[in-house]
Structure formats: C-alpha cells, structure tokens
Amino acid sequence: MKSKFLLMLISVVFFLNACSKDDNDAAEILETPVANAPKDVNDNGFKAKWNYVSHSKSYLLDVSTSEDFTTILPNYNSKEVTDLNEVVTGLTGGTQYYYRVRAKTEAQISDYSNVISVVTTGSNGIPEDPTFLKVKVNKLANPFFVGMAIKASQLTNGTPYDVILRNEFSSISAEYEMKMDQISTASGVYNWTVADKIVAYGNTNNINVHGHALVWHNAVPQWLKDFSGTDAEFAAEVKKYITDVVTHYAGKVKSWDVVNEAVDDNGGAMRNTIFLQRMGPNYVKDCFQWARNAAIAAGDTSLLLFYNDYATSTNIAKQDKVFAILEDLKTAKVIDGVGFQMHNTYLSPTKAQIETDLNRAVAKGLKIHVSELDIQVNQFNDISSFTNERRLAQKAKYKEMVKIYNALPAANKYALTIWGMKDNESWIPYSTELNHPGNDWPLLYDSNFAVKSSHTGFLEGLD
C-alpha cells in the first residue's frame, strides 16, 4: 500500500513539473519583432532598427533588393545581430532596399517582422522629402485641394491610413462606395451607412468631400437593370435617385461627378450604356440639370458639378466628343468643371498632350480636377521588381503632372487626387479594363506606408 502511495506521489510531482515546464515554455514563446524606419541613410548604407523582444538572445536580419525577399544580399541573409540595430553597408547609391528581422533564442526563431523599405542616397537618388503634401500646397499663392481615393474601412482613427490622410490630404473621393449600386437598394430605398461614414470623416476632419459618382454604367443596381417600366419611368427613377442623393448630402459633399465615362473609346461616339438606350442622347444634360435643381432646392448653391472621363489626352476623337458634351453643358449652365482621370504611365501621355487637353478646359472656363491620378511603371510586364530606373522615371512623371497642374490659372484649379494610397492596394494590376499583365507600383506610398520618390516628385512639381 505504501509503495502504491509513493508511486502515485511521484507521478503527481512529475506531472506538475511537466505542466510547469510547459507553462514556462509557453510563456517564453518569442513574439514577432517590429522593424522601425531606418536612420542615417547615405550613399552606401543605412542603420536598420527594430524593437526589443522579451527572451530573445539575438536577431536575424535580412536585407533584399526585392520586396518579396527573393534576392537577399549575401552578407545580410539571416545575419545574426545582438543589438537592436545594425549598420548596413556596401550598398549602391540611389537604390531601393528592404529589410526585416526575426528574434532568436537557443531553441526558437520568431516569425518575420514587418518589411521596411529604404532608398539609399547618391548620384541616382536623394533622401525623400518628408514635407506633407497639403502643407506645401497651402503655401502656394493659388492653392488647390490635394485629394486621395479612399475606402470607408481605412477611416478608423489612429490607423496609418487615418494619420496619412489627415496629415497629407485636404480632399477625399470614395473609390467605389458612393456609387449608385452601393447606395440604392430599390426604388426610393437607400443604404446610407457606408457613404455617411465617408462624408462624416471628411466633415469632422475639415477635409473636402468630392462625390464620386452619381451616374456610371458600371455601377447600376440590379433592380434598375431589371426595371420593366417605360423609358420615361426609367428616367424618372434616375432623376429621383440623383435628387435624393444630392439632397441628402447638401452642404456636406462640396462637389459631384454627375456622369462618369459617357463617351466610348472608339470613334468619339456616346458609350452605348443603359442610360443612353433608355433615356436618349440628352441623358447627360438631364442628369446635370436634375443635380443642379436638387442642389438649389436644398439651398446648396455652391455645389460644384463635374463630368469625369479618362484617356482624353491621347485619344483625340474621344477628347473632341467629351468637349462637345462639355460645351453643351456649359451653354445650359449646369456644369462647373471636368475631371481628367489621368491613369497614366511613365511614358505616356506626353507633357504637350496633357497641356493641350487641360488647356481646352481652361478655354471653356471650367474648373479642372485631375481626379484619378496614378502612374504605371510596368504596363508591359517587363520588370519583376521596382527598379531604380523606373522609380526615377515615375518620380519625374509625377513632378511633370503636378507642375502642369500648378501652372493652371487660379480660377481653373480645383483638386489633384491620387487614386489610392499604397501600391499593393492599387486597382491597376487587377483591372480587366486595362488588361494589366502583372505587378505595378503606381502610387505615392509603398506597401508599408513609406513615401516613395513619386511623393518627392509631387512636392518638386510645386516648386
């Protein structure tokens, strides 16, 4: 009996020790480190930095020329470091690099940290200008709104999206969430929740809200596509929608794209949309008149109404048709401005083509909104990583675009809006319209919210 008791006691002690050991092991599982922005960036290197991780004995540092770390530098392939920083040397000037770290003990290695990007200085590059965009724009003799296309999910207080928006931008456009199929669920029935969040964010933070867009052929709600009434009844539904939306946001949304992309890409004809088919060739003017009437009825006499379209700088037949529509709307006194989307590449359009396009709007006395600016660098899928050559070419093209816009007469300036925040969230690589073959880096911030040379190019265009 005594032997059995001792055996049980030994088993209990062994079990408790094992549990205690497991608990200690669990408590000492390494957390994933957080990498910080680099310091002391120069021609040949920089200081990589990261936060302390409890129980770690050292850190493993990777440095790469590619964001996915398919090409890691030989001397920095899991280089073991016992400090919270490491001076990285032997690099090439004016080149994009990326780094990440893992924490290590004798027995464990943590997951990878976030990835930090850095561009070395040198003959091919300079440190990126940290000046906030709207701060520099607001110091101009004739300032304009600096805009960003956003999603409601990005507007949570304290997130990197929120911080960048409030620091850098003075205007926002909903990328998709204020279009007809997002708001209208049935005739006279609306879901305002998401759009209201966007508008409230802008109003609360003293950021201009540009409404995009009331009528677009790719955002028709299913109930309206299936509408079986007469053409006159169809037009009445569109009128009701425009009237209700403009009235709902009167005094809160300062401008609207009333009609988006009404002109076909071939031959300079009207695009054959459901609106053209059911409302006739005057539907664009009708929509503008309804929007103007709704604004006046709501007491919003300062609301600005825009027509918005793309590829008019290089497609002259399309450009001519757009300006014929603008002339008609101007004569009817129902339009204030025109949006030029400017989904450009680092090669096209040329400076002269852009200036010719915009100057036609100046001649008509219209406000100009560069409404959806991004600049592709990989439209032919001929690079697998963001090369230094393309980085500098993109920077120059952003500088050129901003310089052209800033040179416009004060009366014709409205806003210059970037179509998205981070490269990895851009619509371009996924566009069926563009038939884009691969990855691209078209915006002002990389996937880690770091400013790119394109951001510096924007600032230099203001000089």
Residues carrying an active site annotation:
261, 372
Q: Please give the single-letter amino acid code of residue 16.
A: L
Helix locations, 186-315, DSSP H: 193-204, 222-225, 231-248, 274-279, 283-297
CA 177 to CA 192: how far, in whole Å? 10
CA 400 to CA 354: how far, in whole Å? 10
Q: Please give the single-letter amino acid code of residue 93.
A: G
Q: What do you get for the CA distance between the two ends of the chain, in Å? A: 94
Q: In what order do the strands lie in the sheet with 46-50?
A: 35-39, 46-50, 85-88
Which token pair is 72? Answer: 């890691």
Closest CA to 416 of 70, 74, 149, 62: 149
Torsion sign, CA atoms 177, 181, 184, 190:
negative
| Angle subtended at Cα 330 by Cα 328 and Cα 335, rounded to the nearest 5 degrees | 115
Burial 173-187 (b: 16+ CB within 10 A, else e): bbbbbbbbbbbbeee
Pairing of strands 184-186, 189-190: antiparallel
Half-sphere exposure of 220 (CA within 13 A, CB side): 16
For residue 18, say if its preceding peptide bond is cis, omega within 30 degrees of 0. no
Helices 388-406 and 351-363: angle between axes, nearest 10 degrees: 20
Map residue 244 onto helix, strand or coil.
Answer: helix
CA 197 to CA 179: how far, in whole Å? 14
